Amino acid sequence: MVWGKGLARRLYGLTGVVWSKYLDIDERGRLIVKLKGYKIDIAKLVSDKQLPGAHIRILPIIRYMMDQVYEAFMEAFRKFGYKGAFKPVYPLKSNSTPIVVDTIWRYGIKYSWGFNAGTYPEVKLISKYINEKPRLLVVDGIKDNKLLDLLSKMCDSWEIIVDIESMRDADLLSKYQDLNIGLRVKVTSKSSGLWSHSSGLDSKFGLLINTLDEMVEKHPWVPNRTVLLHVHAGSQITDKNRLEDIIRETIILYNNLVKTGFKNIRYIDFGGGLAYPYIEASNHVFSANYSLNEYAEILVKELVKSAENTPDIVFEGGRYIVAPHRITVTKIIDTRPYSTSDRGETSYPIVEEIKNTENIKELVYVSRKAREVITRLMLKFPINIESRRILEKLLTSINEAITSKAYEIIHRDNDKALEELIKTPNYVLEELVSPTRRFFASFSLFSHLPDTIIADQYFKIIPLQRLNEKPEVLGVISDLTCDSMGEYSSFITFLPNNIEYETEDLFTSLDHKLMFIPGKTLRLKGVPLHIPRKNEDYYIAFLDTGAYQDMLSMNHNLLNGYPEIIIDIINDNLKIIYENLESAENYPL
């Protein structure tokens, strides 16, 4: 059998740009963080303090991501001979946790990394840096006099640009002559991905051109004070063609504005559309079909090609900077089967028909018949304990027979069977990727991973131990809340055609569920995991939870807060700090 650390890395997504650098599997099959020669056992960090789980913040990852962004744009500038400046700003909405903001502030000194804020509390948060080295601050959102008064105090040392998005904004800013302004304008182009609805002419953000015309007529000072063109491209734009459309349209807007009196525009902010690769399968909604370097090249190339002048580029990709720095770890405290096995005690004609199929095509046909049998029986039978026993045993027998027969056929016919299996949606494939266990974890999705509830956001999951052992079952992760939405079941695999594997490696070892098909993107309905042994502390980790999750955290069932473990390298020395340990008492061990 080929199964080992190499296949585990592939299955759990440790082969991308970030995680191949910072995470690895040691010789014991445990997940470790790699930093400057240090190897940190993640499970040990948590179990040594007897914690139910923790948010682990790896601060060097934030710095690394900032470096990657800056270097990508500098390379594009050199390649296309661009003479403008690069002005990165960090949008505080992505994560305004003080240690995150301070890390970006301090490391950003070398790049003059500024900030983007949308509320009074966000501006107040960074006002503590007012006497430090000046930065660029772009402010959008709804304004009032309190916010503008604070910005006026800051503009002596910082470069402040306040976006105008409505006539009300212009009315307010007419009284604050010391503040430069930006125009946040809607684009007609639609983006792609989960947040595509947030772009276009019906977007929540930005001005319509007709509104801008009326504004200039009422406030003739607007063109002279405008130094920035800002658009909301959308978040996590996954399609390169859509991205190019938005960039081209924005440059056309810039050229037209400059020609019609907005002579002082010197910055273009294309918004925060750069997609962070939550998975590395380029044909999926959670990942882009372009890289960071391609993003920078597309943007710079189009400016060189089409822009009338040479505006400075304001970059505000916050999610890309902070998403990977936080790993959410939680302990499994209970496992429960989806059903009780019939153990072959009863013989059913439809089950025997499943067992007698010869290939995947026949199995698909008979499986459909079996589902129809179940549907008819559920409509016909009275709802009592005896009928429930019969239905539950029959359903379990059918599902187990489908899985067992598919497992047998794929072992015999391999590629031919797999090709037939994925031709069209069918009950066989559905059953092969369905879970058989629930894993109850000591955390709250509402508190710790709220985007799974709000936006169906995908996060990679990986066990912290036994990674040198093949996963045993597919399982759904259930949280502690009393809400049926408190479950996470998505697991996406994409392993290349050229990987070394044996047919047995395709399946979990106990319930024989399908984990991957080489060369295909496969979305499982459960996570490949091991059943915890007696007295074993079995932990799992959700990766890439550093953007928005801290800010959106809910208080459902009063499960709020989680222990924090902060990992940093200071002067080449490893530093690990535990915080908020008192919150552990809210969660069972």
What average pLDDT score do residues 338-362 get? 85
CB atoms within 10 A of CB 568: 17
From the number of C-beta atoms within 10 Å of its C-beta (0-12, 13-18, 19+), residue 100 rates as buried
Res. 384 pLDDT band, cuts 50 70 90: confident
Coil/strand/helix, residue 269: strand
Rounded CA separation 260/250 (Å): 15
Please, which pLDDT band fits residue 486 given cuts at 50, 70 and 90?
A: very high
Residue 427's pLDDT band, with cuts at 50, 70 and 90, is very high
Tens digit of each residue's pLDDT (9 = 90 or more) over 33-50: 999 999 999 999 999 999
pLDDT number for residue 342: 61
Question: How would you label 422-446 residue by residue, b for 16+ Cβ within 10 Å and e otherwise?
Answer: eeeebbbbebbbbbbbbbbbbbbbb
* DSSP conformation class of 514: B
When pLDDT is cut at 50, 70 and 90, the band that residue 281 belongs to is: low
Residue 566 has pLDDT above 70, yes or no: yes
Fold of 5-59+326-338+435-586: Lyase, Ornithine Decarboxylase; Chain A, domain 1 (2.40.37)
Quick one: which of 386, 396, 407 has its CA closest to 344? 396
Tell me if residue 228 falls in helix, strand or coil.
Answer: strand
Section 507-515 average pLDDT: 98
pLDDT of residue 186: 86
Please report the pLDDT score of residue 376 as a whole number. 87
pLDDT tens figures, 310-329? 999 999 999 999 999 999 99
Report the amino acid identity of residue 177: Q
- Look up 482 and say whether it is catalytic: yes
With a cut of 60, say whether residue 283 has pLDDT above it: no
- pLDDT of 420 strictly over 70: yes
The whole-angstrom separation of Cα 332 and Cα 52 is 9
Question: Which of 174-178, 380-384, 503-507, 520-524 has the lowest average pLDDT?
Answer: 380-384
Q: Would you say residue 349 has pLDDT above 70? A: yes
Model confidence at 175, pLDDT cuts 50, 70, 90, reads very high
* Residue 193, SS3 per DSSP: coil
CATH code for residues 83-316: 3.20.20.10
User: Using CA atoms, how far apart are residues 27 and 278, in angstroms rounded to an integer?
Assistant: 27
**Contact (CB, 8 A) for 537 and 43:** yes
Q: What is the pLDDT of residue 280?
A: 76
Tell me the pLDDT tens digit for each residue of 444-468: 999 999 999 999 999 999 999 999 9
For 183-214, write each residue's pLDDT tens digit: 999 888 665 555 556 556 666 677 989 999 99
pLDDT at residue number 586: 96
Written as six digits, the tokens of 359 are: 């290939």
Other beta carbons less than 10 A from residue 498's beta carbon: 7
Cα 205 to Cα 197, 231, 353: the distances in Å are 11, 8, 59
Is 341's pLDDT higher than 70? Answer: no
Give the pair of three-digit tokens for residue 379.
């409509």
Q: What's the pLDDT score for residue 52?
A: 98
Under the banding of pLDDT at 50, 70 and 90, the label for residue 340 is confident
What mean pLDDT is reported for the chain? 93
Instruction: Specify the pLDDT at position 272.
Output: 82
Percent of the chain scoring above 90 in pLDDT: 83
Residue 523 has pLDDT above 60, yes or no: yes
Residue 567 has pLDDT above 90, yes or no: yes
Mean of the pLDDT values across residues 53-67? 98
Pick the range with the lowest mean pLDDT from 130-139, 335-344, 535-544. 335-344
Taking 70 as the threshold, does the pLDDT of residue 372 lie above it? yes
Phi, psi of 426 (to 5 degrees): -155, 165
The active-site residue out of 83, 482, 497, 573 is 482
pLDDT winner (highest mean) among 74-88, 191-205, 276-290, 337-351: 74-88
Q: Which helix (H) or strand (E) holds 393?
A: helix 385-413
Residue pLDDT, tens place only, 157-172: 899 999 999 999 999 9
- C-alpha distances in Å from residue 164, one per residue of 185, 226, 246, 480: 9, 9, 20, 44
Rounded to an integer, what distance in angstroms lies between the CA atom of residue 80 and that of residue 58? Answer: 35
CA angle, residues 133, 135, 138, in degrees to nearest 5: 160
